[in-house]
Structure 1
Amino acid sequence: MSVVATLGPKDTFSDMATQRYLSAQGLSSKVSYFPTLKTAFNAIGNEADWGVLPIENLSEGYVQVVLDGLMATDLFIRDEILLPIKFALVTNCQSLAEVRSLFVQFVAHGQCSEFIESLQGITIHNTQSNMESLNSLEGSKEPAAAVVPQHVLNDWRSDCFKIDNVTDFAHNQTRFLVLGKYPQKINPALAYKTTLVVRDDHDKPGVLGSIVTALSDRRINMTSIMSRPTKSQLGKYHFFIDIEGHCEQANIAAAIEQINASYQVKVLGSYQAAVV
């Protein structure tokens, strides 16, 4: 049986995305939970055969630690998953006025920032996972609250104060990547996306113009572009790019070849585009 790595513990959004993917694909892999995104990423190809990790949120943008992992990895993106995201506030007391501490995962904090900023006189404790936030609340000896995935509160104590859906955006959504050791084979009947990294290692001018020209000349739709520092020198960046289509299609292969003539291009994977 294969092993899939994801952010734990059980019932995180990463776990929900993983379970949905396993069910949709008819897979029976064992899920292995890790305490941080970095440890989960590093487990893929080692303790785990593949993994499911968040890459982008509707309101918060890209998950930087996962982008940085993709920069150095030999893994491939094999699929993507779109998951609706809702957070709720739950307490261990009977009113919000009693609360003295709030536990919230660092990414969830950004997605619920408007609500959190409205709270007065409460100390904020950032955690590594949403389930850590809930566990911290359960272990707190003072009146406290936690921002947690709404789906985990079905069995929460009915005598405690809670607020459903404290997320900033009503249609909040997170995109997850399925990562593995081998690329996905092309099926001409499917719609694909391809993710590239363009490395400007030699500090040549015009990198963005070269990328846009190579793609637009071949009518290739670029759906997103994200720069990340090389961490070797100030002012030097790599570019993550999502485009429509598969890297084996003639126009995309030609565009990659053209960009690669001046800049180092790495194909992180071509995978079936998730339905919004």
Structure 2
Amino acid sequence: MKFSVLGPAGTFADAAAKKYLSLHPIKNVEIDYHATFDQVYQAVTPDGIGLLPLENQLDGFVLATLQRLQVADIDEIGEVTVPVNFGLAGKVSSLAEIKRIYVQFKTEGQCQKLLSQLPNAQIITTSSNMVSVEKLQAGMTGDAAIMPQSQLAVQDFPFKLDNVADQTDNNTRFIVFKKQPAVLKLPAQPAAEQPAKFKYAVFVTPPTEEVGVLYQILSYFAKMHLNLVTIMSMPTRRKIGIYSFYIEISGTFDQEAVLVETVKKMTAVYTIHSLGLYAL
């Protein structure tokens, strides 16, 4: 079975995939690397799984992933969070000599303090942090790159800076998914004194925009004491002013009937696009 992730080896996505496999061992699995997150999604086979970044502690939700989830038939089977930190390396002797700096598109938002010190440097966006490393390796004098902190020890460049993220306690959450429509059904509850926890992800789209529409949506969960942990609005692209809401609900397995009944009621009023339910 292939586990499709952003490559090459050494990315935070690679670390997240390996952490997930250490927590959820899968037999005969091969990590399958791809150059972009779109290619990762496209590469997931019917019997395989994929991994996409969903949320960064400093830079928020990954818009490209939410846009994909909004229209894709996927079934989230788990999540994994990994610490992320960055270093800078360059073919220079000081920050002032940097003319071009390679930065992954989400990394840029997590290293604003450093980039503000380089007002005259050209920022070149890359698809992954390891691509930034490769661009620097093939680059010229005056080039620099922001890369995973772990790469500083194995890369040979004349100038290096440790810990260049805006704060050191930074994490990224990834989702693990299958490419199939999600079905709102909880796994069998494990035998334990305390009910295990779950997370359920869904897009809820109202038919029209009206006063109090978000309050109405949230009231379904509040009345049934279901814990909402995430809400993000996304344009539906059908008409300005009509939004779809990405929502994550957490709960315990003894709330199964309540969750299913609540979503069933909402389906009569809203367009419901379930993305999966998994144990935490």
For residues 51-101 of structure 1, give each alpha carbon's deviation from its aligned partner in whole angstroms, at most 9, with x where no partner exists: 011011111111111111111222101001011110111112333232221
Q: Which runs of 5+ in 1 are unaligned?
A: none
Q: Distance in 2 between matches of 1:186 and 1:53?
A: 26
CA contact under 8 A between 2:91 and 2:140: conserved in structure 1? no
CA contact under 8 A between 2:152 and 2:160: conserved in structure 1? no
Instruction: Give 1:222's aligned residue.
Output: 228
Q: Distance in 2 between matches of 1:250 and 1:207?
A: 25
Instruction: Give 2:175's aligned residue.
Output: 177
- Give the 3 Å change call, closer, same or farther, for CA 246–236 of structure 1 in structure 2: farther
What secondary structure is seen at the aligned counterpart in 1 of 2:175?
strand
- Give the 3 Å change call, closer, same or farther, for CA 40–101 of structure 1 in structure 2: same
Deviates more, 1:73-82 or 1:113-122: 113-122
- Give the 3 Å change call, closer, same or farther, for CA 216–169 of structure 1 in structure 2: same
Q: Distance in 1 between matches of 2:248 and 2:117?
A: 36
Q: Distance in 1 between matches of 2:117 and 2:251?
A: 44
Deviates more, 1:231-240 or 1:246-255: 246-255
Letter in 1 for 2:160: K
Instruction: Give 1:83's aligned residue.
Output: 82
- Give the 3 Å change call, closer, same or farther, for CA 14–96 of structure 1 in structure 2: same
What secondary structure is seen at the aligned counterpart in 2 of 1:165?
coil
Q: Which runs of 5+ in 2 are unaligned?
A: none
CA contact under 8 A between 2:199 and 2:250: conserved in structure 1? yes
Root-mean-square deviation (Å): 1.9
CA contact under 8 A between 1:4 and 1:52: conserved in structure 2? yes
For residues 160-205 of structure 1, give each alpha carbon's deviation from its aligned partner in whole angstroms, at most 9, with x where no partner exists: 21111111122111110001146672435421111111122x2163
Using the aligned pairs only, state the percent identity.
32
What secondary structure is seen at the aligned counterpart in 1 of 2:102?
strand
Q: Distance in 2 between matches of 1:154 and 1:235?
A: 49
Instruction: Give 2:104's aligned residue.
Output: 105
- Give the 3 Å change call, closer, same or farther, for CA 228–186 of structure 1 in structure 2: farther
Instruction: Give 2:202's aligned residue.
Output: 196
Deviation at 1:262, TM superposition (A): 0.8
- Whether 2:163 is the aligned partner of 1:165: answer yes
What secondary structure is seen at the aligned counterpart in 1 of 2:106?
helix
Q: Distance in 1 between matches of 2:209 and 2:11?
A: 43
